[in-house]
Amino acid sequence: MTSIRKNKVFMGLLYILVFFLLSEWLRPVIELTETGHHRLFLAFVALGLVMAFFDIPWWITGPLKLFYILWFIVYVYTGNLFFTAESIRFVVEQASISLSALFSQDWQATTDVFRTVLFFALLWMAIYLIHYWVSFRLSIFLFYLLTVIFVAVLDTFSPYSGDAAIVRIMVIGLLLAGLLHLARWMERHGAAAKTDKLLVFSIPLLLLLVASTALAFYLPKADPIWPDPVPYITSYSGKGGVGEGGVGRIGYGVDDSQLGGSFVSDDATVFRAEVEEGQYWKVEVKDVYTTKGWELSEEDADEQLYRNGDEVTTDFPPAGEERSSALVDMQLPFPFVLYPYGTASFLMEETLDYRYDPVQQRFDTLQENTAFEPDVYEVFYSEPSYSLTALRETDTEQLSELPPEYDRYLQLPDELPERVGELAEEIAAGSDTVYGQAQAVERYFGTNGFEYSQSDIAIPAEDQDYVDQFLFETQRGYCDNFSTSMVVLLRSLDIPARWVKGFNEGEVIDTVDGYDVYEVTNNNAHSWVEAYMPGVGWMMFEPTIGFTGSSSIDFDLEIDASEPEEEEMPDRPEPEPEAQPEQPDGDAGTNASPTVGERFLAFVSEQAGKLIAATIVLLLLAFMLFKIRKKWMPKVLIPYYRRKVGDAETFEKAYLRLLKQLELYGIKRAPGQTLRSYAEYVDSFFGTKEMTKLTAAYEKSVYGGDAESVDWPKLKESWENLINRTSG
């Protein structure tokens, strides 16, 4: 029989293809590590393959390759084309440095030359492996698959772009795999390996390859369905960047000009507060909406300087004379103090100034005009309360009479899509008071299918508006989405509003002297809304679903018994039907927020096509796996049972598994066949004695009820041996 391996033309073709495949490995490595002399490395690969192809004995190829490596080093590092005394000295010197570094295990001290040698050794090994696969195994599939994975991974996670490489690999790899399959087939059937015959046989392969490549090229391709998972993965590896898109780490940040993107939680404690009641902690506000996020207007404002204990003036005056106090113990250094609504004064051991900027509304802490990061401070406050009567008199007419300093709280970008304003009108349609409109907007999110989530959050594209995207497309987001949207909606209704940053209550971790100790972590970083109610003042609103902070309302209404309307009840979880604005989707019948079940059903009906497709693919995959389980089961079973405790139960299970595997393998056991006669048959089939041995032990355990007699560790070897045979 003339082996196909003797056909030099065919094998030569294979080696050429292998060379291209190997160079696909080399290319990204060289590109990513910024190694030069790509050609010289390729030449080494080519040299290795050529020598392997001609079956040159190792005692020639070895020194030749070594010589090449030496020459490469000399050429690249010393610039000499030939070995000169100087270059040889260089090589010797390098070798001694690297060797001594190696022996002293000082890996950092090894030189570039040494690394080059290592890289060559790796290439050498790769060439040998490939040579083995192609010439002896006549199978390249594993290498082919690894190449695809390698390039795909590099393309995904590194700057290397594998767009063209993957196509080349597919074509080369398929051709190679196809030819090798042909070779195996011819070998198995003892077909004469004539070149012309091989050519004839390869024609369908080539045609198919050309056709599939052409189809792949010219057919329209769908965009990826899933979002790019890489930012998410890299964020877990601790390399995620905050800010510019991608996944951020939750927490208090200064730059809000680019909102959007997912968050991963961060449990770092920011501060602990001893308070009577959970408070929202305000840090600052921002007033300029940029379609992508928030910035601070550059207007000058008269900064106020306060000292310890001074009564401060904010937009939220304390409710009365009685003061609550809160002790704040900062864990992270911030050059400002966090303050609750209705703050009256601060107290700290250190002597310092609190600088309050009415635009930013932040209390910076300064010690001799330099930023100071407070450790512990006490803040006195009295939470403001709002008269419902007054709130119900906030007439929208009054909005037009507001002084010009409120204009900046009405700022909206020109690019804001019109439908945002239209939506705001729609939401506000049912209410004629400013407060009613603000409340309608606040409640809007809870009842219209919006979803709170920190993961998988869209980032607006170049030409997209952050609010518009959230309101009309994604309807999925966290506090920034909700609060920003509310501010924009309110401003569309000419209600002055601004965006507030700070922290929510946190979690109670302890109780000291009747005070609750709240721990506030980076996860509690939050944003909400302040809106101006004409005649009443600034008021905070909490549009984010799932959060409960809100202004406290003084129910001073003299409710007329004949008046059934109680729309101003601030318990948002149960919105009154009357208070509801006409909803844009016309779904005015039910005002309760959709339940999880409903939302799930909605999701299913929306995504039905994809879900069905995914299910079919999964089923197919499962079916395929089931079909070829004979092949992979032993690989799973052996490690599984190897780890197991060596008792009779394990053995019995393993034995029954083996029976199943044997059945899959094709050695069927008739229903009336006893284990012993089956075992004898199996052993005669494989030429072993192991099945009989196992069966005797199994019979003793099951029929004899003698579980103690089972010595699984001893039987394991026989079992593994047999189960391995079944995968063949």
Partner 1 sequence: MKATERLGKVIDNIEKVIIGKREIAELSLVALLSHGHVLLEDVPGVGKTMLVRALAKSVGADFKRIQFTPDLLPSDVVGVSIYNPKDMQFHFRPGPIMGNIVLADEINRTSPKTQSALLEAMEEASVTTDGVTMQIPKPFFVMATQNPIEYEGTYPLPEAQLDRFLLRVKMGYPTREEEIEVLTRSQSIPPIEELESVLTLEELLKLQEEVRTIRVDDTIRTYIVELATQTRRDPYVYLGVSPRGSIALMKAAQAYAMLKGRDYVTPDDIQYLAKFVFGHRIMLRSEARYDGITAEELTERIIAKTRVPVQRLVNQ
Q: Which is nearer to partner 1, 333 or 704 (CB)?
A: 704
Interacting residue with partner 1 among 706, 708, 711, 717 (CB under 8 A): 706
Place of tokens 């309608």: 440
Structural Rg of the chain based on CA atoms: 37
CB of residue 677 to partner 1, shortest distance in Å: 7
**Per-residue tokens: 617:** 């693919």
Judged by CB under 8 A, does residue 693 bind partner 1?
no
Judged by CB under 8 A, does residue 675 bind partner 1?
yes
CB of residue 705 to partner 1, shortest distance in Å: 6
Per DSSP, the chain holds a count of helices (H) and strands (E) of 21, 23
List of E strands, 577-728: none
CB of residue 694 to partner 1, shortest distance in Å: 13
Q: Which is nearer to partner 1, 334 or 651 (CB)?
A: 651
Q: Which is nearer to partner 1, 45 or 658 (CB)?
A: 658
Element spanning 356, H or E: strand 353-357
Which amino acid is residue 455, in one-letter code?
S
- How many Cβ atoms sit within 10 Å of the Cβ of residue 359? 19
Strand partners, 304: 356
CB of residue 671 to partner 1, shortest distance in Å: 4
Q: Which is nearer to partner 1, 70 or 696 (CB)?
A: 696
**Per-residue tokens: 118:** 């290592």
CB of residue 696 to partner 1, shortest distance in Å: 10
The alpha carbon of 188 is separated from its chain's Cα centroid by a whole number of angstroms, namely 48
Q: Which of these segments, 71-79, 279-287, 446-454, 702-710, binds partner 1 (CB under 8 A)?
A: 702-710
Site string for partner 1, 625-654 (x = CB under 8 A): ---------------------------x--
Pairing of strands 451-452, 476-477: parallel
- How many Cβ atoms sit within 10 Å of the Cβ of residue 94? 19
Give buried/exposed letters for 685-706 (b at 16+ CB in 10 A, else e): ebeeebbbbbbebbbbbeeeee
Judged by CB under 8 A, does residue 671 bind partner 1?
yes
Coil, helix or strand at residue 250: coil
Q: Which is nearer to partner 1, 540 or 710 (CB)?
A: 710
Report which of 351, 21, 287 is spatially closest to residue 175, judged by C-alpha positions. Answer: 21
Q: Which is nearer to partner 1, 22 or 675 (CB)?
A: 675
CB of residue 472 to partner 1, shortest distance in Å: 58
Q: Which is nearer to partner 1, 425 or 699 (CB)?
A: 699
Instruction: Check if the beta carbon of residue 17 is closer than 8 Å to that of residue 59.
Output: no
Judged by CB under 8 A, does residue 684 bind partner 1?
no
Coil, helix or strand at residue 510: strand
CB of residue 649 to partner 1, shortest distance in Å: 9
CB of residue 676 to partner 1, shortest distance in Å: 5
Judged by CB under 8 A, does residue 709 bind partner 1?
no
- How many Å apart are CA 270 and CA 257, to the nearest integer? 23
Judged by CB under 8 A, does residue 700 bind partner 1?
yes
Interacting residue with partner 1 among 589, 672, 687, 728 (CB under 8 A): 672
Which amino acid is residue 591, in one-letter code?
N
Q: Which of these segments, 29-37, 259-267, 321-329, 697-705, binds partner 1 (CB under 8 A)?
A: 697-705
Residue 165 dihedral angles phi and psi, to the nearest 5° = -60, -40
Instruction: Check if the beta carbon of residue 361 is closer than 8 Å to that of residue 405.
Output: no
CB of residue 710 to partner 1, shortest distance in Å: 12
Q: Which of these segments, 143-151, 329-337, 482-490, 671-679, binds partner 1 (CB under 8 A)?
A: 671-679
Instruction: Check if the beta carbon of residue 270 is closer than 8 Å to that of residue 494.
Output: no
Q: Which is nearer to partner 1, 194 or 689 (CB)?
A: 689
Element spanning 275, H or E: strand 269-275
Q: Which is nearer to partner 1, 459 or 707 (CB)?
A: 707
Q: Which of these segments, 207-215, 290-298, 389-397, 673-681, binds partner 1 (CB under 8 A)?
A: 673-681
Q: Which of these segments, 76-84, 127-135, 436-444, 665-673, binds partner 1 (CB under 8 A)?
A: 665-673
Q: Which is nearer to partner 1, 366 or 702 (CB)?
A: 702
Judged by CB under 8 A, does residue 699 bind partner 1?
yes
Judged by CB under 8 A, does residue 659 bind partner 1?
yes
CB of residue 680 to partner 1, shortest distance in Å: 10
Q: Which is nearer to partner 1, 388 or 659 (CB)?
A: 659
Judged by CB under 8 A, does residue 674 bind partner 1?
yes
Element spanning 373, H or E: none
**Per-residue tokens: 304:** 């106020």
Interacting residue with partner 1 among 677, 708, 711, 714 (CB under 8 A): 677
CB of residue 640 to partner 1, shortest distance in Å: 19
Q: Which is nearer to partner 1, 217 or 703 (CB)?
A: 703
CB of residue 639 to partner 1, shortest distance in Å: 24
**Per-residue tokens: 709:** 């007699």
Judged by CB under 8 A, does residue 676 bind partner 1?
yes
Which amino acid is residue 722, in one-letter code?
L
Q: Which is nearer to partner 1, 161 or 673 (CB)?
A: 673
Instruction: Check if the beta carbon of residue 312 is closer than 8 Å to that of residue 340.
Output: no
Judged by CB under 8 A, does residue 656 bind partner 1?
yes
For Cα atoms 195, 197, 198, give the angle at the middle one, nearest 5 degrees: 65
Which residues have a Cβ under 8 Å from the Cβ of 678 and sit 6 or more positions away?
667, 669, 691, 695
DSSP 659-674: HHHHHHHT----TT--
- How many Å apart are CA 256 and CA 344, to the nearest integer? 28
Q: Which of these segments, 244-252, 390-398, 468-476, 667-675, binds partner 1 (CB under 8 A)?
A: 667-675
State the number of binding residues for partner 1 (CB under 8 A).
Answer: 18
Instruction: Check if the beta carbon of residue 53 is closer than 8 Å to that of residue 15.
Output: yes
Can you give the binding site for partner 1, defined by CB under 8 A? 652, 656, 659, 670-677, 699-700, 702-706
